[in-house]
Amino acid sequence: MTFALEVRGIEKSFSGVPVLRGVTFALEAGKTLGLVGENGAGKSTLMNILGGGVQADAGQMLLGGVSHAPRTPADAARAGVAFVHQELNLFPNLTIAENIFLTAFPTRSGAFIRYSAIYQRTAELLREVGLDTPPDTPVENLSTGQRQLVEIAKALSRDARILIFDEPTSSLSARECEQLFKVMGQLRRRGLTMIYISHQLGDVLRLCDSVVVLRDGIVAGSGPTREFTADRLVVLMVGRALTQLYPSRRGSARSEIVFEARGLGEPRVIHDISFALRRGEILGVAGLMGAGRSELARILFGLDPHSRGAVFLEGKALHRASPTERISRGLAFLTEDRRHEGLCLDASIADNLMLVALRDFARTPLKLLNRAMSRATLQKIRERIRLNQNARDEQPVRTLSGGNQQKVVLGKWLLVQPRVLILDEPTRGVDVGAKFEIYSQILELADGGAGILIISSEIEELLGLCDRVLVMNRGEIRDELSRPEFDRERILQSALPAELFS
């Protein structure tokens, strides 16, 4: 049996904290391996070692039987390791072909790019990934899903021996995911070896030949996919059976309306959106990617304009209130894009947590910060959101795992005690354990009397948490279900394009 990749006893510590502790597994040539684990389990570090981003402290890797110890990403690329990252590394101002050949342009007379050659080669690559777009299209004209396919084409252009997908579906629509899986299937038939990293355990079970589960830097389980079920994977990842995916609800919706939209509209974005959110109520918004849910959230928070209708907070119209004004009146918004909009990645945990509440700690006439008071509050909020205890206050948020980053964003808003909290995909890219803690915080806030509006692409999540669910489709509210009426099928039918059923 030939192995495309053998990983033997890899160890790695960061400033004394062990992240990988003797990770060992092997991947047969031409097979697809699913790599799962909670955030912080060591998946990213392992892939970084494979990709030359960092070096292992101990252990050995064999790539096609040859020792593989890349010192730089370029070394790893030369050895045939290619990545398709969660955040796409394409340049929107360049064409597809230029992006693919950026560091390997074939030239004429040693100076000029042979455009005819790269267009021809790019067209072939695009056919392989099923993207029907001219090679000279600027990448800025492509959708996220199309860009992902370009990333794959780019990896293929390097004659990759191992293709690593790191959370590739986290920003794709359902249809785009299917296209991606189709392309992966074709690549597999062509004999390409792949590693697939995802929190979507269903996808992993469906796509992969074998699975490796990482927990706290060790291999908690591995073997052929048929030996696993989603439940068993969860048990291995978390180290205990999660008997309950959603915390139990104590309170319930009260009668007063705290937040209301009446006939909200904006050409080409949303149309005639009306809903009323009660105190203590958790209202979900379901729908496909691109149904206008995030756009609605941005409009409600005052980030984007609307031309028709009105928004009311505690009975008072918000008119054209700025986000700052809305925040001071008790509105909070957790964005779907935590890395760019939710956090200042290079700022410290403390600075990020204090960002919104900062003014509350500068009550003196000179507006000087009360350090002692802020430090005490910081400690309290860290405990409340159960942030990783090893993380120091002054550590940059960038160094945290996805789940802990999201806890920081949530903590930032909890500090201002919002009366209405809008959450857009609060658990995207977050592992099972951290999810539960985020849910608990949301429920606690609702039980305290806040109104919660939660947007999610995971229907299960909405069914598990919400009192009521709205379904959006093409910028309109198509359906509304209260808890007794909850029905997966019905939500999906309302969310999918009507043509499918006619």
Partner 1 sequence: MRASFNRRLLDQTPTLLFAVALAGFGLSTPAFLTKENLLNIGVQAAPVGIVATGMTFVLLTGGVDLSVGAAMFVAAAVAGKLLLGGQSLALAATAMLGIGAIWGAINAVLIARSRIAAFIVTLAMLFIGRGFALWLTETRAMNLPDSFLRVGSARFAGIPAALWLLGLVAGAAQITLSFTPFGRQLHAVGQDQEAARKAGVNTKRILTWTYLLSGIAAALGAVTALGQLGAVTPKFGENYEFKAIAAAVLGGTSLFGGRGAVLPGTLIGALLIQSIENGLVLRNADPYFYPLITSAIIFVAICLDRVRSAILAKRTRRHIRVEATT
Q: Among residues 9, 64, 73, 449, which is the contact residue for partner 1, using CB under 8 A?
A: 73
Using the minimum distance from each CB to partner 1, give the nearer residue, 251 or 396.
396
CA quadruple 457, 459, 465, 468: dihedral sign: positive
**Contact flag: residue 267 with partner 1 (CB under 8 A):** yes
DSSP-based three-state secondary structure for 20:
strand
**Contact flag: residue 116 with partner 1 (CB under 8 A):** no
**Contact flag: residue 82 with partner 1 (CB under 8 A):** no
Using the minimum distance from each CB to partner 1, give the nearer residue, 175 or 367.
175
Question: How far is CA 444 from each of CA 248, 250, 251, 354, rounded to the nearest angstrom?
Answer: 10, 9, 9, 21
Q: How far is the CB of 268 from partner 1 (least distance, A)?
A: 5
Instruction: Compose the 211-250 pattern: x for residues touching partner 1 by CB under 8 A, - for all others.
Output: ----------------------------------------
Stretch of 237-245, 266-274, 439-447, 454-462 lying at the interface with partner 1 (CB under 8 A): 266-274
Tokens, residue 146:
């199309």
Contact 470, 442 (CB under 8 A): no
Q: Among residues 14, 67, 71, 91, which is the contact residue for partner 1, using CB under 8 A?
A: 91
Using the minimum distance from each CB to partner 1, give the nearer residue, 445 or 470.
470
Subset of 436-475 contacting partner 1 (CB under 8 A):
474-475
Q: How far is the CB of 74 from partner 1 (least distance, A)?
A: 5
Q: How far is the CB of 150 from partner 1 (least distance, A)?
A: 13
Using the minimum distance from each CB to partner 1, give the nearer residue, 144 or 377.
144
Q: Is 214 exposed, middle or buried (0-12, 13-18, 19+ CB in 10 A)?
A: buried
Q: How far is the CB of 294 from partner 1 (least distance, A)?
A: 9
Q: How far is the CB of 101 from partner 1 (least distance, A)?
A: 9
Q: How far is the CB of 87 from partner 1 (least distance, A)?
A: 9
Give the CA dihedral 97, 187, 81, 17, nearest 10 degrees: 120
| DSSP calls for 92-113 | TTSBHHHHHHTT---EETTTEE
**Contact flag: residue 295 with partner 1 (CB under 8 A):** yes
Q: How far is the CB of 83 from partner 1 (least distance, A)?
A: 10
Question: Residue 381, CB half-sphere, CA atoms under 13 Å: how many?
Answer: 25
Using the minimum distance from each CB to partner 1, give the nearer residue, 95 or 456.
95
Q: Is 347 exposed, middle or buried (0-12, 13-18, 19+ CB in 10 A)?
A: middle
Q: Among residues 58, 65, 67, 74, which is the contact residue for partner 1, using CB under 8 A?
A: 74
93, amino acid identity = N
Q: Among residues 26, 62, 69, 94, which is the contact residue for partner 1, using CB under 8 A?
A: 94
Long-range contacts of residues 472-475, Cβ cutoff 8 Å, at least 24 apart? 472/285, 472/286, 472/287, 472/291, 472/292, 472/293, 472/296, 473/287, 473/288, 473/291, 473/497, 473/498, 474/291, 474/292, 475/269, 475/270, 475/271, 475/291, 475/292, 475/295
As a whole number of angstroms, the longest Cα–Cα distance in the chain is 77
Alpha-carbon distance of 369 to 367, in angstroms, equals 6
Subset of 96-115 contacting partner 1 (CB under 8 A):
98, 102-103, 105, 107, 111-113, 115
* β-pair type (451-455, 468-473): unpaired
DSSP-based three-state secondary structure for 471:
strand
Consecutive H or E run containing 28: strand 17-28
Closest CA to 53 of 64, 69, 40, 65: 69
Stretch of 220-228, 285-293, 346-354, 426-434 lying at the interface with partner 1 (CB under 8 A): 285-293
Q: How far is the CB of 193 from partner 1 (least distance, A)?
A: 22
**Contact flag: residue 270 with partner 1 (CB under 8 A):** yes
Q: How far is the CB of 264 from partner 1 (least distance, A)?
A: 13
Subset of 126-185 contacting partner 1 (CB under 8 A):
140
Q: Is 265 exposed, middle or buried (0-12, 13-18, 19+ CB in 10 A)?
A: middle
Using the minimum distance from each CB to partner 1, give the nearer residue, 242 or 289.
289
3-state helix, strand, coil in the chain (%, to 5): 35, 25, 35
Using the minimum distance from each CB to partner 1, give the nearer residue, 93 or 120.
93
Stretch of 186-194, 239-247, 284-292, 436-444 lying at the interface with partner 1 (CB under 8 A): 284-292
Report how many residues bind partner 1 under the rule CB under 8 A. Answer: 30
**Contact flag: residue 93 with partner 1 (CB under 8 A):** yes
Q: How far is the CB of 158 from partner 1 (least distance, A)?
A: 10
What residues line the site for partner 1 (CB under 8 A)?
73-74, 77, 89, 91-94, 98, 102-103, 105, 107, 111-113, 115, 140, 267-271, 290-292, 295, 474-476
